[in-house]
Amino acid sequence: MIDYKLAKELKDAGFPQEGTLKAMGIHNDGALKFHPEPCEMPQLSELIEACGDRFLIRLEETFAEGGGTHWWAKARWKDHDTWIEAINGSTPEIAVAKLWLELNKKK
C-alpha cells in the first residue's frame, strides 16, 4: 500500500479519484489521523491500468544486501523497444505509482 504523501502526489498530478479506498494516514504513535483532503489509495492493478495501454509495464524484484527487497517498475511504448527509466520502491505499488507520476509529468 502507498502512503498518504504519495497518494496526494498522485491526486495532484491528476490520478483518477473514483475509487472508494481513501488515504487516512497514521501517526507515528499508531493513532489514526484523518487528513483534510482524502486521496485515492489505488491497488496495484489500478496503478498498472492507469499507466495506459500504450505501455508495457515490467516489474522486477531485487534483493538488497541487508535482506530487504526493492521493486523496479519500467514501461516501454508497445510499438518500440525504448524503455522509460526504471523507478524503484519498497513495494510494487510504490514503484508503479512513481512510474505513473513519471509517465504523467507535466512538461
pLDDT, one tens digit per residue, over 31-90 is 666 667 778 888 999 999 998 877 788 888 888 787 788 898 988 877 777 777 778 899
CATH class of the domain defined by 4-103: alpha beta
Instruction: Over range 16-24, report the average pLDDT.
Output: 68
Rounded alpha-carbon distances, angstroms, from residue 83 to 17, 25, 74:
28, 34, 7
Predicted confidence at residue 1, as pLDDT, reads 78
- Cell match 498522485: residue? 10
pLDDT in the model for residue 96: 93
Helix (H) or strand (E) holding 61: strand 55-63
In this prediction, residue 30 carries a pLDDT of: 62
pLDDT in the model for residue 94: 94
Q: By CB neighbour count within 10 A (0-12 exposed, 13-18 middle, 19+ buried), where does 69 fall? A: exposed
The whole-model pTM stands at: 0.79
Give the per-residue pLDDT at 32: 64
Place of cell 505509482: 97
Q: How far apart are CA 90 and CA 74, in angstroms?
A: 15
